[in-house]
Structure 1
């Protein structure tokens, strides 16, 4: 069997690592377009803004493969 570190558990006296997914931070429409690897044109930014209004932070799922 593996040791505690192998499973991501901290050793005694150590803090657990903080796992960040990015969803805890606000996403703006331009960031959403940039995540897709596209240039942020006014049309793409507007589409991303509408998508964020509709789906919230889950909108990033539409842009990521």
Structure 2
């Protein structure tokens, strides 16, 4: 027995929420450590310095560029 609802039986008001509305990236709360880990790098002094410079230079767009 299937638990999914066939498209034909869905209400016209039943729709999917766009992905952009489901996920947020609070850029102001991101730390250099968060940025390094999100970039897939090891947390080292060198990578933390890299993240600080990148975040200072690019602002919130630095974090946005890491998102898929």
Q: Does 2:5 align with 1:3?
A: no
Q: Does 2:52 align with 1:52?
A: no
TM-score, normalised by the number of residues in structure 2: 0.61
CA shift in 2, pair 1:49/1:21, >3 Å: same
Q: Does 2:45 align with 1:42?
A: yes
* Structure 1 vs Structure 2 CA RMSD: 2.6
Q: Is there any run of 5+ residues in structure 2 with no aligned partner, and where?
A: 1-7
Residue pair 1:27, 1:57 contacting (<8 A) in 2 also: no
Residue pair 1:34, 1:40 contacting (<8 A) in 2 also: yes
Count of aligned residue pairs for this structure pair: 55
Map 1:9-28 → 2, pairs under 5 A: 19-23=22-26, 25-28=28-31
TM-score, normalised by the number of residues in structure 1: 0.63
CA drift of 1:38 comes to 1.4
Distance 1:5 1:24 in 2: 32
